[in-house]
């Protein structure tokens, strides 16, 4: 078995808080923030970062291209 760990980087200022990425995540990693960016939008943030596998589903559906995805695989 290999262990997979992922993480994402959200461009907070570009994010419009549409929430499409939240439903695309299979592990409920994402939620909208309580704080807002300079345009007044809440932005996507990782609330269960440890569950992220770097599958990139959130980034693929993001209409504004705000999400970068990183992944590391360890072979056991």
Partner 1 sequence: MDKVYGRSSLLTDNVMHYCPGCSHGTIHKLVAETIEEMGLQSETIGISPVGCSVFAYNYVDIDWIQAAHGRACAVATAVKRLQPDKMVFTYQGDGDLSAIGTGETIHACNRGENIVVIYVNNAIYGMTGGQMAPTTLLGMKTATSPHGREAAIHGYPYKIAEMVSLLDGVCFVTRQSVHSPAAVRKAKKALRRAFENAQAGMGLSFVEIVSSCNSGWKQSPVEANHWMEENMFPFYKLGDLK
Residues 3, 19, 27, 47: which binds partner 1 (CB under 8 A)?
Answer: 19
Using CB under 8 A as the criterion, what x/- string covers residues 40-59 for binding partner 1? -x------------x-xx-x
Least Å distance between CB 22 and partner 1?
Answer: 8
Q: Any contact of residue 17 with partner 1 (CB under 8 A)?
A: yes
Query: How many Cβ atoms from other residues are within 10 Å of residue 61's Cβ?
Result: 15
Round to whole Å and give the CA distance between 67 and 75: 26
Here the tokens at position 61 are: 């559906």
Pairing of strands 67-75, 2-10: antiparallel
Q: Any contact of residue 70 with partner 1 (CB under 8 A)?
A: yes
């Amino acid at each position: 078995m290999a262990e997979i760990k992922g993480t994402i980087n959200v461009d907070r200022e570009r994010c419009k808080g549409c929430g499409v990425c939240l439903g695309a995540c299979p592990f409920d990693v994402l939620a909208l923030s309580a704080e807002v960016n300079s345009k007044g939008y809440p932005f996507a943030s990782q609330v269960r970062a440890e569950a992220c596998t770097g599958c990139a589903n959130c980034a693929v559906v993001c209409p504004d291209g705000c999400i970068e995805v990183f992944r590391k695989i360890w072979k056991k």
